[in-house]
Amino acid sequence: MTCEFYDKTGCCKHGHNCSRPHPALELSNTLIFEGVCPAIRNVSNILQVNFWNNVYEDLFLRCDEFGFIQDCALSINQNHLFGTFFVQFKNLNDAQKCYETLKNQQYAGKTLKLRFGPMNTLRKGVCIKNLQKRCNDECNYIHQFDARDVAKELFAYNDRWR
């Protein structure tokens, strides 16, 4: 039996030390950009939110070049998930094109760590307690950045792929 957290988020805080397997995938419609969003410290909440909105929008638009995006999330947990961007394509071929094109590119001064995720829906990996403001930051599920305003426009633009 595979790791529950890995199955739902594609990530596990125990990594290679986990007692459950984390099978690598050769192809999936979900891509994981590990730690792509750098942490910025000692800034106001408004600047932090603006920064995360910009990262979300930038990564969405980079991925949107390859096909229809069903869902995406930027994790802002203060743990192993921080700054990880998840994107789920409708089509496997689009996910593969995105992976092949972006896998060795630079972003925020680092080479992208890109891999396929095991989840067939991002919603199962999102922390419900966090959405209800009842969870701590050490949770192993995705604490999704609330990018509703930006996402609304981006997903409307993304509909051109339908």
Question: What is the pLDDT averaged over residues 1-22?
Answer: 90
- Separation CA 113–CA 106 (nearest Å): 10
- 111-138: average pLDDT: 89
Q: Which domain holds residue 139?
A: 4-161
Question: What are the tens digits of pLDDT across the range 89-124?
Answer: 999 999 999 999 999 999 988 999 999 999 989 999
Question: How high is the mean pLDDT of the chain?
Answer: 90
pLDDT reading at 80 higher than 80: yes
CB 6 within 8 A of CB 50: no
Total domains, the chain:
1
Q: What is the pLDDT of residues 52-67, one digit of tens each?
A: 999 999 999 999 999 9
* CATH number assigned to the domain comprising residue 75: 3.30.70.330
